[in-house]
Amino acid sequence: MIARSRQSEEHLEALLDRVEIGGRGLSFDDTREMARLYRICSARLAVQRSRARDPEQVRYLNALCVRAFTRLQVSPVRRQRVPDFFFADFPKVLASTAWIQAVVAILMLVGALAGASIVAENPAAVYDCIPAAMYPPGKLETLIESREARADFLERKPVSFGFECLHFRWESWRESPPCFWFSTTD
């Protein structure tokens, strides 16, 4: 009985070594044999743990069972290539969230149209529609009244991306919790 158990352990270890070192998968019959040997070794591990005769044997069987479980139950990690992400996974994510994106786009469009119609009816309401933290009232008034200021505002300019476009205002830390501001006046 002990010799047969030891033989099962050695055979399972040989199969695991072949998979881990060779890097190739096993045939269907070898995978089935590994599953059978795994069940035998895990039952033997349960018996060894309950009797606690040999701690080294328990550690060996535990490690062997963990290795076999990993090969039998967990699929190997698939390395994802960048084109696979952009041409397969990303479109799937966009498709699965298309309805919420459509709702958000409609809400933004409704908000923009509502704001434009309110300001068209009452130009003084522009200060209520655009928060002072987003665009200072003095600059907003200049933008409303000056055609040159609007042309300058709408002109395409190169924008730097990265940490240089985030300016942390240290003096605001003392007054309120830290936050990042996009600033053009630093």
Query: Is pLDDT at 34 greater than 50 in this prediction?
Result: yes
Q: How does pLDDT run across 126-174, given as a tens digit for each residue?
A: 888 888 888 888 888 888 888 998 888 888 877 666 555 455 444 444 4
Highest mean pLDDT among 91-95, 104-108, 136-140, 171-175 belongs to 104-108
| pLDDT band at 23; cut points 50, 70, 90 | low
User: Which of 22 and 152 is assigned the larger pLDDT?
Assistant: 152
Non-local CB neighbours of 44 within 8 Å, separated by 6+ positions: 5, 8, 9, 61
Query: Is pLDDT at 111 greater than 60 in this prediction?
Result: yes
| pLDDT band at 106; cut points 50, 70, 90 | very high
Single-letter residue type at 90: F
| pLDDT band at 179; cut points 50, 70, 90 | very low
Give residue 132's pLDDT.
Answer: 82
How many Å apart are CA 72 and CA 69, to the nearest integer? 5
Give residue 114's pLDDT.
Answer: 92
| 18 contacts 12 by C-beta, under 8 angstroms | no
| pLDDT band at 180; cut points 50, 70, 90 | very low
Give the pair of three-digit tokens for residue 71. 């090969």
Asked whether the CA dihedral 90, 92, 95, 97 is positive or negative, the reply is: negative
Mean pLDDT computed over 38-56: 86
Radius of gyration of the chain measured on its C-alpha atoms: 33
Query: Is pLDDT at 66 greater than 80 in this prediction?
Result: yes
Single-letter residue type at 55: P
Single-letter residue type at 80: Q
Domain ranges of the chain: 2-73
Mean pLDDT computed over 38-47: 89
Non-local CB neighbours of 11 within 8 Å, separated by 6+ positions: 33, 37
Query: Reduced to 3 DSSP states, what percent helix, strand and coil does the chain have, rounded to the nearest 5?
Result: 75, 0, 25
Instruction: Give the CA distances from residue 96 to residues 86, 90, 180, in Å, rounded to whole numbers and listed in that order.
Output: 15, 10, 32
Cβ neighbours of 116 (radius 10 Å): 11
Q: How does pLDDT run across 73-86, given as a tens digit for each residue?
A: 866 666 777 787 88
Q: Which of 133, 143, 184, 134 is nearest to 160 (CA)?
A: 184
